[in-house]
């Protein structure tokens, strides 16, 4: 079976080097190349490769941003490629994730490729995905909260900055992200997304609603212990009684 492979690097010569080394590998099918992180996210979501050679240092969206944008649980097998990031190398080694340090020779390249083949044969993606999650936490030095969300709709991929989201509501098997005048549908559960958002910025006010605290204008008492949450754009949401204590704890005073 062919290993569908994607090459991601902002340097054309680096992409050509990897392509040349893969040319003699009968089980490798190169499905594309990407010159930046945004292209990489779109390509992975659209083509679902088995293996990605992923450059770490790229402008705008680096290799770690690609993993974060796609989600570690949806990433294919990865061989990171890096030039000089010593901290990243230590993080890779601690988490037993493979990497290529530029400039790499044919022998080191084939060693990394063999390890990737072994991972794919085992099909133990859960373990590798957890290592990617831990890697992001290592690199950031703290629990990794989302900085951006990747939303795919009608064949297009959009990047939504988390800080620009006003509020989030459940919509069947999806979540509806309200961002200014725009809305985006994201296939995700409320609980899972809540766990990946910074709790000092986003708080759940109802079983089907999360709000950005920076977008709240005021609270108004309602019935049976509930409150109306008035957003800056005029939207009225409900802070239900079951979520009031947590909201009060975050604000640090009684409501």
Give per-residue pLDDT as tens, 81-134: 988 766 667 767 766 678 888 889 999 999 999 988 988 887 666 667 677 777
Helix axes of 125-140 and 86-94: crossing angle, nearest 10 degrees: 140
Mean pLDDT, the chain, integer: 85
pLDDT, average across residues 132-154: 72
Q: What is the pLDDT of residue 125?
A: 66
Q: How far apart are CA 133 and CA 130, in angstroms?
A: 5
Q: E strands within 102-181?
A: 148-153, 156-161, 167-171, 174-179
Q: Helix 125-140 to helix 63-70 angle, to the nearest 10 degrees?
A: 120
Q: Which CATH class is domain 3-140?
A: alpha beta
pLDDT confidence of residue 87:
61
Which residues make up the CATH 2.40.50.1020 domain(s) of the chain?
Answer: 164-251
Structure tokens at 167: 């509020």
Least confident of 117-121, 149-153, 162-166: 149-153
The pLDDT assigned to 139 comes to 66
Sheet holding 227-231, edge to edge: 216-221, 227-231, 236-239
Which of 61, 120, 63 is closest to 92 using CA atoms? 63
Residue 53 host element (H or E): strand 51-55
* 216-239: pLDDT as tens digits: 999 888 877 788 999 999 999 999
Q: Give the confidence band of 142 by pLDDT, cuts at 50, 70, 90.
A: low
User: Is-contact 175 188, C-beta < 8 A?
Assistant: yes
Distance CA(149)–CA(103), nearest Å, equals 33
Predicted confidence band at 211 (pLDDT cuts at 50, 70, 90)? very high
CATH superfamily name and code, 164-251:
LytTr DNA-binding domain (2.40.50.1020)
- Looking at the chain, which residues constitute the CATH 3.40.50.2300 domain(s)? 3-140
| Higher per-residue pLDDT: 225 or 80 | 80
Greatest mean pLDDT among 33-37, 119-123, 242-246: 33-37
Q: In what order do the strands lie in the sheet with 77-82?
A: 28-34, 3-8, 51-55, 77-82, 99-101
Token reading at 226: 């509930």
């Amino acid at each position: 079976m062919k290993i569908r492979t994607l090459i991601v690097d902002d340097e054309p010569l680096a992409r050509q080097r990897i392509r040349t080394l893969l040319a003699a590998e009968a089980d490798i099918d190169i499905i594309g190349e990407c010159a930046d992180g945004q292209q990489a996210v779109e390509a992975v979501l659209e083509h679902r490769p088995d293996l990605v050679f992923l450059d770490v240092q790229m402008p705008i969206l680096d290799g770690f941003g690609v993993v974060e944008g796609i989600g570690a649980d949806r990433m294919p097998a990865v061989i990171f490629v890096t030039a000089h990031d010593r901290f990243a190398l230590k993080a890779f080694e601690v988490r037993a994730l493979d990497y290529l340090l530029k400039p790499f020779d044919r022998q080191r390249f084939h060693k990394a490729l063999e390890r990737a083949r072994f991972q794919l044969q085992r099909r133990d993606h859960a373990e590798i995905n957890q290592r990617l999650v831990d890697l992001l936490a290592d690199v950031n030095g703290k629990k990794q909260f989302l900085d951006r969300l990747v939303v795919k709709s009608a064949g297009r991929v959009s990047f939504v900055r988390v800080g620009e989201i006003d509020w989030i509501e459940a919509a069947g098997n999806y979540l509806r992200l309200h961002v200014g005048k725009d809305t985006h549908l994201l296939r995700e559960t409320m609980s899972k997304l809540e766990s990946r958002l910074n709790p000092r910025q986003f708080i759940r006010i109802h079983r089907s609603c999360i709000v950005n605290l920076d977008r709240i204008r005021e609270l108004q008492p309602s019935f049976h212990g509930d409150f109306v949450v008035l957003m800056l754009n005029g939207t009225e949401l409900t802070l239900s009684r079951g979520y009031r204590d947590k909201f009060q704890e975050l604000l640090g005073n009684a409501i």
